[in-house]
Amino acid sequence: MATYAVGDIQGCYDQLMRLLDKINFDPTIDRLWTVGDLINRGPQSLETIRFAKSLGQAFTMVLGNHDLHFVAMATGAVKHGKKDTLQAILDDPDCPQFCDWLRQQPLLLRKKLDTEVGTQTFLMVHAGIAPGWTFKMARQYAGEVEAALQSDKYLKFLSKMYGDEPDIWHDGLEKWERLRVITNYLTRVRFCNGETQLNLAIKTGPKTAPDGFKPWYEYQELKKNKVILFGHWATLEGETNWPNVHALDTGCVWGRTLTALRLEDKQRFSVPY
């Protein structure tokens, strides 16, 4: 039995199938985790979401910004964007089921696994967590957004989800502004500063950090028994230079590779676009 964490698939179904063949993935004994952005931008979003849902208990995901965007589109909270490739799902008779299924998925996973170096606590998130957030705090704040997404007020949440402001986290934030900042950290962050201020405009690599800002993960102090898995940041090209922080978006939808990390021994497997 092995657990594989896969980077942003974004509708690249054919590449996912080749990657699963390469690792000899067996859903009866193995487990597949994905760091979010399961769909959108790529050519086969419908096939991808249908396959993921069909895996049942063998599949675990956290929601990315593109997954949330699909739910917002499917429920009428936002209009179709020029770069979206979601029409096949929206036109499919199973669209309401896919939407409801995504609404039940977490924004953050915190789980212990036995690895070759002992028991490790894994935190999987699409984009990142704020400076000063412990794993426990991150799980708590993610739960607030999940509760809103799964409540009877989810349409209101989706309509208030978009936007870059407020751009700083503090525990005194309330209602939709609080949920928006949490969502932006979990699904959109790349750069922030030590005061938890976000810079969501710059999407290039760490060398382009604005003055006073760093990649969010550089604020985390991790012991060897704690590991972070994330996606979202394709321009990192899978490298953080931090041993227990694993960037898994290797830019498949941009013509590069799709990557899986076997969590038990941290071995990587990739297939080209």
- d(C-alpha 108, C-alpha 214), whole Å: 22
| pLDDT at res. 83 | 80
- Taking residues 32-47, what's their average pLDDT? 98
For residues 161, 176, 247, 81, the Cα torsion angle rounded to the nearest 10 degrees is 10
DSSP sequence for 60-96: EE---HHHHHHHHHHTTSSPPPTT---HHHHHSTTHH
- Taking residues 35-48, what's their average pLDDT? 97
CATH number of the domain within which 154 lies = 3.60.21.10
pLDDT tens digits, one per residue of 214-267 = 999 999 988 889 999 999 999 999 999 999 999 999 999 999 999 999 999 999
Q: Strands 257-262 and 108-115, how do they pair? A: unpaired
- Taking residues 10-21, what's their average pLDDT? 98
Count of domains for the chain: 1
What's the CA angle centered on 40, arms 38 and 43, to 5 degrees?
105
Total count of residues recorded for the chain: 273
pLDDT tens digits, one per residue of 148-199 = 999 999 999 999 999 999 999 999 999 999 999 999 999 999 999 999 999 9
3-state DSSP: the chain helix, strand, coil percent, rounded to 5? 35, 20, 45
For residues 42-56, one letter each, b for 16 or more C-beta atoms within 10 angstroms of the residue's C-beta and e for the rest, the string is bebbbbbbbbbeeee
**Residue 82 reports pLDDT greater than 80:** no
pTM higher than the cut 0.95: yes
Range of the domain at 253: 3-272
Task: Give the DSSP H or E segment for 187.
Answer: helix 175-187
- Taking residues 42-55, what's their average pLDDT? 98
**Cβ–Cβ < 8 Å for 264, 5:** no
